[in-house]
Amino acid sequence: MEDYINELKEFLKIPSISTLPEYKNEIEHCAKFVAENLEKIGMSRVEIFKTEGHPVVYSEWLGAPGKPTVLVYGHYDVQPVDPVELWNSPPFEPVIKEGKIFARGATDDKGQLFVHLKSVEAFFKTEGSLPLNIKFLIEGEEEIASESLRVFLKNNTDLLKCDAVLVSDTSLYAAGVPTLTYGLRGLSYFEVEMEGPNRDLHSGSFGGSVANPINILSDVISKLHDKNGRITIPGFYDDVLKLSKKERENFKVLKFSEKEYAKDLGVSELSGEKGFTTLERIWARPTLDCNGIIGGFTGIGAKTIIPSKVTAKISMRLVPSQNSVKIAKQFARYVKKLAPKSVKIKVTELHSGQPGITPIENPANVAAAKAMEKAFGKKTIFVREGGSIPIVTDFSKRLKSPVVLMGLGLDSENLHSPNEHFDLKHFQLGIISSAYFIKEYSEKS
Ligand code: BES
Ligand code: MN
Ligand code: MN
């Protein structure tokens, strides 16, 4: 474990931020680190594939003919670090405190991904081989919606052929509780720009004569929900699968405490779509949120202007069987309709990803549930997830293989937020789970 943790630290030191162009070299450096580690642990083929965007690392060991093949997927890219002043230690100088490792990417996804490299390493060290065939596919664009990997997957379906895909990039339901995820939400992400007057204007001389784009945009955003917390885009709910009674009951069994949840988040009341519990709202209902607004005067003190322009970033989380292409069209049409003629509006799609569900009963999930149960010493539970991993539905579609979402993080580990960390206990239990999974799944007929 000590060696594994030291190597993880080296991995976490690389600032592989995918969304900021100035980190391109670091991204390449990080792909190299992953490739070198795969070579070091004893994989027989390791290759870095260039793409239009960030490199894809592919590796295989196919020394168990006649046995199943597992494709491990993960991402080596990380989110930006801002607001950096809120970090208790620098984001790319990993430190361990109370059994947790703190750094950007610790839980999302470097720590979780590294688990599988280390379980394979342990097999090679102790038994000299694996009981099944293994492929690794590790990308650098997950946090920007996996555009290049989608192309790579389309052009390399034979290379990536497998019986199951194994992903650790989701969360445990709670610390120490073995958890498999069977549903992910999709995503549709937009920038909406509104332009009023052709320059910033003195709000005294001009106030009252022209539309203020920030006022207008705020009004449009507020119209996207009704008083019951439902999204008002026409047709938005048409394809939403209703929650079955069975699923609603399964969620209830999890004994989710809304009170503790609210307390942890520092809010006195939770909020969302009327008629649904918090877990239902997060896991099985679509949502719409404004992620940020850029516009007007935001410096210290006052400056009396009517701004010329404003931009909002707005995202929707989608659920089966909504289609992100259809939703994107509906959204663009509706916000354009809501905007008055007094502003020019531009709607640009940034990212998208389809929602997906994997059947709980497939043999890979059964093997994974057993493996986690053995490692954690508790029964594995099945949950859905509010976040998105855009490439997962492409795996199902192109490779026709079930995807096992063996999450090892915690929602409380500050992914995408300052002071991201990963519990090293879960790092270790993850390695053991991964090893048990390899064993269990190799015995499937
Ligand atoms: N690992 C997350 C997905 C996730 C989020 C799992 C929360 C468990 C809890 C993934 O890296 C992620 O952040 N996905 C993005 C996708 C987007 C940027 C295209 C997301 O969900 O916002
Ligand atoms: Mn992730
Ligand atoms: Mn992420």
Ligand 3 center to 209 CA (angstroms): 44
Q: Which domains does the chain have, with CATH numbers?
A: 2-184+355-442 (3.40.630.10), 186-240+286-353 (3.30.70.360)
For atom 13 of ligand 1, the residue with the nearest CA is 143
3-class DSSP state of 79: coil
User: Can you tell me the distance from the alpha carbon of 59 to that of 256, in angstroms, rounded to the nearest whole number?
Assistant: 40
Tokens (6 digits) for 322: 């909504």
Residues with CB under 6 A from ligand 1: 108-109, 142-143, 145, 169-171, 187, 351, 353, 385, 387-390, 411
pLDDT at 445 over 90: no
Q: How far is the CA of 140 from the centre of ligand 3 (A)?
A: 11
- Give the type of residue at 308: S
Tell me the per-residue pLDDT of 356-398, one tens digit each, with 9 for 90 and over.
998 899 999 999 999 999 999 999 999 999 999 999 999 999 9
How many CB atoms are closer than 10 A to CB 8? 25
Is 97 strand, coil or helix? strand
Q: What is the DSSP string of 327-392?
A: HHHHHHHHHHHHS-TTSEEEEEEEEEE--EE--TTSHHHHHHHHHHHHHHTS--EEEEESS--TTH
Question: Per residue in 272-329, pLDDT tens?
Answer: 999 999 999 999 999 999 999 999 999 999 999 999 999 999 999 999 999 999 999 9
**Rg (the chain; Cα; Å):** 23
Ligand 1 mutation target, pool 143, 315, 383, most atoms within 8 A of CB: 143
DSSP label of 70? E
Q: In this predicted model, what pLDDT tens digit does every residue of 327-357 receive, in sequence order?
A: 999 999 999 999 999 999 999 999 999 999 9
The pTM of the whole model exceeds 0.85: yes
- Our answer to whether residue 77 is catalytic in this structure is yes
What is each CA distance from 409 to 42, 109, 156, 160, 365, in whole angstroms? 27, 9, 30, 26, 18
